[in-house]
Structure 1
Amino acid sequence: MSAHLDPQRGAMVVVFVGIALILTGSGLASLMDDSSWRWLGTVGVLVQVVGWIRYSRVRRGGVR
């Protein structure tokens, strides 16, 4: 196993970081009853969208 991430795996890491941010933000918003944590979930959605865009570009052969 190499320490080098290929672009497809890197894109999927970004997607999973976005998922983690969404879950963290929604969990903290419900536990602390503070709606300001929803912004963390919103950022998570944007990060996840960027990850899926990168993944689709890699799958189509745009980035090597």
Structure 2
Amino acid sequence: MARHGGSATTDVDADCVRLAEAGTPVRGPDEPPWGRMASFTDPRRQRSDAAGGGAPVGTPA
């Protein structure tokens, strides 16, 4: 059975960078109508989402 988790964060962008640097596959960050979020797969191949703050998509770094 597949499991799907999620967590709140104050900076989705920084979390995506840290996860990617650690070799974790990350999709996002995205900005759907309900808020800013990203998805990733943990080492046990479980999908999780992180939702919260960060710069709006398309904002220059």
Normalising by the smaller structure, the TM-score range is under 0.3
Q: TM-score, normalising length from structure 2?
A: 0.26
TM-score (norm 1): 0.26
Q: Which has the higher strand share?
A: 2
User: Which of structures 1 and 2 has the bigger CA Rg?
Assistant: 1
